[in-house]
Amino acid sequence: MSMLTTRQRDLLALLLDAKAPLGAADLAAQMQLTPRQVSYGLSGLKKWLDRHDINLSTTPGVGVTLDCTPDQFDNLTEELAAESHFQLILTAVQRQQLLALILLVANEPFILYQLQQLTQVSRTTVLKDLDALDDWLSQHRLTLERRPNYGIWIEGSEQARRQALAAWLWGETSLGQPLTEMTHANGLVFIMHDDADLLPVVQKASQIISQWEMKRSFGHVAWAEVQLDGRFTDDAVLHLALMMAIQTDRIQNGHILDIDSQTIAWLQTLPVWHVAAQIGRRLSWGHGNHWPEAETAGIAMHILAAPRNERWPGDLEIDRSFSDLVDDIMEAISAAYKMPGLKEDVTLRDGIVNHIIPACLRHRFNLWLPSPQPMTTLSEKYVFEHQLARNLTGIIEKHTAVHLPHSEINNIALLLRAAFIRERPYPRQEVIVVCPSGMATAQLLVARLKARFPRLGTLKVVSMRELHPARLKSVELIIATVPLPANISSQAKVIQVHPLLLPEDVQTITQWLA
């Protein structure tokens, strides 16, 4: 068993647990590998199993199975459960990620030989791995310095270093699959923790990550929400907890942020300062460390710049210029749509405030934030909203010098479309329902339509025989449970649905309403 790699071990464990053949794609998805990596791992596993008189059977179009007796099955299960030594083989990108982590937290330069000992690879391989870090580090305004007879280290500000650490832990490194996972239940988890003793570089990384007590920080984030009467997004909670955990560890090791006195003085005038100061005192409990003003400012900056679920009380009081900016944006939207009422749309104003102010503050403080998860994207057919959203970024740049990312421009377009739907005049024309199946089915469909779409207006059930040209003149929409003749669909909008109004039917009608 000692010659089995950890990847082959994990493949074998999946095959032993499987109740049916597993395809390469299934194995790849469960192990977060490529099919090619799975194929290579199965090849080595097959050779190892052959020496144990066990056949690894691969059937095209079916999958992979183990052909073994019950006794052999039990023996394999026992060996996997035993404290055996396996060979841990890292990919190049995994090795590069681990080197980046170790160098980011290092208090002094590493010599090349030390890195060779940690990674158990050649000098040439280590040098290639270090070269691969340059681009990613530069994205965080850091540089990898190498000086003969002195060592290798990362140069840059403390804030840049912390943000690079947060990006590493979040998995945004452009260096392959993340090596950590973060959840509200478990906090920060190093996915290679169980194999840490198999390779020095993994062991050192595991020790580093274990110092960041992210779960402890969740309570402080929740307390900040209560004090400031607002709610962060779920991802923002994770990010804030992570930054506080990193901050606490860095202060304990003597690394302090350098925040200019003007920014600190401004932050001290805001309600968030007292909240940040209290969190700093809570984070330092048990460590005996003085919490510097610059670190209180660091907490306040991240709180102000974090994405929210809704507009927070006092957001517009953070900076006077924000009120003028939002007023100009609302004026521009109202003029563009030629709808004076939009200027007073409170929901739209709150949405604009909620998205733009944190984005502007992130730019002002030069803070990194994780890329948002895939979100709803407004269809490109809404050309007007997309163009207006881009035009509004010009107003934002004029006031703040902030260039919004594409994700925020899309959010503004969504807000615009929603506001237009709320404000536009809606003629209450007739919507008819055609359901030849019978009165009971028709009434059930109408009831479901009224419950799901109260804006549809008057719904009337008619028979196919009543769909004459004169009747169709007053019809805005026909909802039918059967295909209708072409001469009818050419005169009115027709949506065919299932009598039970399936989810795809709801989506189609929703798109028509929008």
Task: Report the pLDDT value the prediction gives residue 146, as an integer from 0 to 100.
Answer: 94
* DSSP conformational letter for 366: T
| The pLDDT of residue 89 is above 80 | no
Task: Report the pLDDT value the prediction gives residue 302, as an integer from 0 to 100.
Answer: 97
Task: Report the Cα 273 to chain-centroid distance in Å.
Answer: 28
Could you report the per-residue pLDDT of 293-334, keeping only the tens digit for each? 999 999 999 999 999 888 888 888 888 888 889 999 999 999
**494: helix, strand or coil:** strand
Tell me the pLDDT of the chain averaged across its residues. 86
Residue 345: HSE in the Cβ half-sphere, 13 Å Cα cutoff: 27
- The H or E element that residue 495 is part of is strand 493-496
Residue 373: HSE in the Cβ half-sphere, 13 Å Cα cutoff: 6
Could you report the per-residue pLDDT of 351-375, keeping only the tens digit for each? 899 888 998 899 999 999 887 654 5
Query: Is the model more confident about 152 or about 24?
Result: 152
| The pLDDT of residue 64 is above 60 | yes
| The pLDDT of residue 205 is above 50 | yes
Contact between residue 361 and residue 305 where contact means Cβ atoms under 8 Å apart? yes
* DSSP conformational letter for 371: P
Three-state SS string across 133-151, please? Answer: CHHHHHHCCCEEEEECCCE
Most confident of 11-15, 89-93, 232-236, 458-462: 232-236
3-state helix, strand, coil in the chain (%, to 5): 60, 10, 30
For 98-112, 177-191, 216-230, which range has the lowest pLDDT when averaged over its residues? 177-191
* Residue 23, strand partner residues: none
| Reported confidence tier of residue 225, pLDDT bands at 50, 70, 90 | very high
Could you report the per-residue pLDDT of 105-143, keeping only the tens digit for each? 999 999 999 999 999 899 999 999 999 999 999 999 999
Q: Is 478 left (phi over 0), alpha (psi -120 to 50) or beta?
A: beta
Q: Which residue in the block uniquely carries the two structure tokens 């503050």?
A: 361
Out of 3.30.1050.10, 1.10.10.10, 1.10.132.10, 3.40.50.720, select the CATH number for domain 6-81.
1.10.10.10
The values of phi and psi at residue 22, to 5°, are -110, 130
Task: Report the pLDDT value the prediction gives residue 288, as an integer from 0 to 100.
Answer: 59
CA distance 15 to 31: 12
| Reported confidence tier of residue 464, pLDDT bands at 50, 70, 90 | confident
Name the CATH superfamily, with its identifier, for domain 214-305: PRD domain (1.10.1790.10)
CA–CA distance from 396 to each of 296, 315, 353, 412 (Å)? 29, 16, 12, 12
Could you report the per-residue pLDDT of 206-224, keeping only the tens digit for each? 999 999 989 889 999 999 9
Out of 3.40.50.300, 3.40.50.460, 3.40.50.2300, 3.40.630.40, select the CATH number for domain 430-513.
3.40.50.2300
* Residue 66, strand partner residues: 56
- The H or E element that residue 152 is part of is strand 151-155
Task: Report the pLDDT value the prediction gives residue 271, as an integer from 0 to 100.
Answer: 93
CA distance 443 to 200: 70
Rounded to two decimals, the pTM is: 0.71
Determine the Cα angle at 215 with ends 211 and 221, to 5°: 120
Taking the domains of the chain in order of start, what are their residue ranges? 6-81, 92-210, 214-305, 315-423, 430-513
Out of 1.10.238.10, 1.10.10.10, 1.10.3720.10, 3.90.930.12, select the CATH number for domain 92-210.
1.10.10.10
Among 241, 236, 234, 235, which residue's Cα sits nearest to residue 219?
241
CA–CA distance from 325 to each of 135, 160, 169, 310, 337 (Å)? 36, 29, 35, 19, 19
Instruction: Report the CATH fold assignment for 315-423.
Output: PTS-regulatory domain, PRD (1.10.1790)
Domains 6-81 and 92-210 share a fold: yes
What lies within 8 Å, CB to CB, of 500 at 6+ separation is 444, 445, 448
Task: Report the pLDDT value the prediction gives residue 92, as an integer from 0 to 100.
Answer: 87
| Mean pLDDT of all residues in 87-92 | 76
Q: According to DSSP H, which parts of 338-464 are helical?
A: 346-365, 383-400, 406-423, 439-452
CA distance 381 to 414: 13
Task: Report the pLDDT value the prediction gives residue 2, as an integer from 0 to 100.
Answer: 46
Task: Report the pLDDT value the prediction gives residue 467, as an integer from 0 to 100.
Answer: 81
Task: Report the pLDDT value the prediction gives residue 342, as an integer from 0 to 100.
Answer: 87
